[in-house]
Structure 1
Amino acid sequence: MRYLMIPLFTVLASPAMAATGPFFSLRNTNFIVLLAFILFIAILMYMKIPAKIGAMLDARADGIRSDLDEARALREEAQTLLASYERKQKEVQEQADRIVANARTEAVRSAQESKDDIAASIARRLASAEEQLESARAAAVKDVQNRAVTVAVAAAKDVIASNMDAARANALIDESIATVKAKMH
């Protein structure tokens, strides 16, 4: 240790480092600065500044630690919320898929019902049209028959009128009366 002190003392006492005179003199600025530095360190120790700085650093470390703990808790809470929202999103997606599937099924069923209703409506209209056609056909046949009867009656009337004379008419009347009397009794 003594050998280490000598070179340090030699360096401090060298003429290049000393402003004026020997090292341990009040005229040497390096010595004055050394004394001021030692006095400053002594005052710091007396005022317990290192302990206060240590306490402040410990308080700061505790604050940082509590901030980190709070950040961890917030992170865990955020992860929990994220997992919850992901589950909810998955459930909502599944529900949306079910709704879409039900809507598709309902659309297919509704389309089939519409097709069935349209087919039934067409069948009813066809049946109604056939009934109207049959009715029109029957009316036409009846009209033709009525005209044929009218024409036949008119033709018979003309034929009978042209072949009938008064004597023949009286004989037919008498014959008809006799037939009615016979049938009545």
Structure 2
Amino acid sequence: MANPETSDLPEVFATDAADAVVEVEPGQAGEHIEPSLLGLEPYQWVSIAMVALLLIAFGMMKVHKTIAGGLDGKIAAIKANLDEAKQLRAEAEALREEYAAKIAGAEKDAEAMLENARREADGIVAKAEEDTAAMIARRERMAQDKIAAAERQAIADLKARAADASTAAAAQLIAANHDAAADKALADEVIANI
């Protein structure tokens, strides 16, 4: 029958090499004996195997050249990416400076256009004022000329009427005061003056 204290432990098969009996006090764990080969522990054998594998891999198969070539390729790719990034950054800086210059130039152009527009507007206003003053002066002269012409026409009409009236009055006076004898004496006097 099985011992109740050891019922939860795994079953161990006995071999010829395992003649040693280890007595364990109740409540204590027994000491574990590690297997060893040629006086080396298992972790030491694993280390020796890794070193041997690496020596074979690096020495005979020239894996180090493949690894170095792969690393060199990665380094070259990273350098190419960095160079491309530097170039792109330089191009972006150049574009930024170009657009900043264009913006500054556009602002200067806008200011110049605004100043030019103000000068042209001032010139147009000044020319309009001059043209208005000249037109007013021309219209005043035209009005004065029309008034002067109307005055001359009125004076000429008045003179003509006065001449007509005086001629008619003189004709009536001559007809009333002169007879045929006075006409004969007047004609003789005119002929004598000639």
Q: Under TM normalisation by the shorter chain, which class is it?
A: 0.5 to 0.7
Residue of 22, 34, 48 corresponding to 1:6: 34
How far apart, in 2, do the equivalents of 1:149 and 1:138 lie?
A: 16
Aligned to 2:150: 136
Give 1:6's aligned amino acid. Answer: E
Residue of 77, 83, 96 corresponding to 2:97: 83
Change in 2 beyond 3 A, CA 1:6/1:59: farther
How far apart, in 2, do the equivalents of 1:91 and 1:56 lie?
A: 51
How far apart, in 1, do the equivalents of 2:84 and 2:180 lie?
A: 139
Runs of 4 or more above 6 Å deviation: none
Aligned to 1:61: 75
Aligned to 1:157: 171
How far apart, in 1, do the equivalents of 2:171 and 2:34 lie?
A: 175
Please give the per-residue CA displacement for 1:105-130, whole angstroms capped at 9, x wherever unaligned.
12211221122022112212221221
Give 1:47 shift. Answer: 2.8
Please give the per-residue CA displacement for 1:79-101, whole angstroms capped at 9, x wherever unaligned.
13311321232023212211221
Aligned to 2:183: 169
Q: CA RMSD in A?
A: 3.3
The answer to whether residue 101 in structure 2 is matched with residue 101 in structure 1 is no
Matched length: 148
How far apart, in 2, do the equivalents of 1:6 and 1:166 lie?
A: 192
TM-score normalised by length of structure 1: 0.65
TM-score normalised by length of structure 2: 0.62
How far apart, in 2, do the equivalents of 1:62 and 1:175 lie?
A: 144
Give 1:153 shift. Answer: 0.5
How far apart, in 2, do the equivalents of 1:81 and 1:58 lie?
A: 34
Bigger relative CO (Cα 8 Å, ≥ 6 apart): 1
Aligned to 1:71: 85
How far apart, in 2, do the equivalents of 1:125 and 1:156 lie?
A: 45
Give 1:54 shift. Answer: 4.1
Aligned to 2:141: 127
How far apart, in 1, do the equivalents of 2:63 and 2:34 lie?
A: 32
How far apart, in 2, do the equivalents of 1:161 and 1:70 lie?
A: 130
Gaps of 5+ in 2: 1-32, 36-49
Give 1:176 shift. Answer: 5.0
Change in 2 beyond 3 A, CA 1:166/1:143: same
Give 1:131's aligned amino acid. Answer: D
How far apart, in 2, do the equivalents of 1:103 and 1:6 lie?
A: 101
Gaps of 5+ in 1: 8-37
Give 1:51 shift. Answer: 4.3
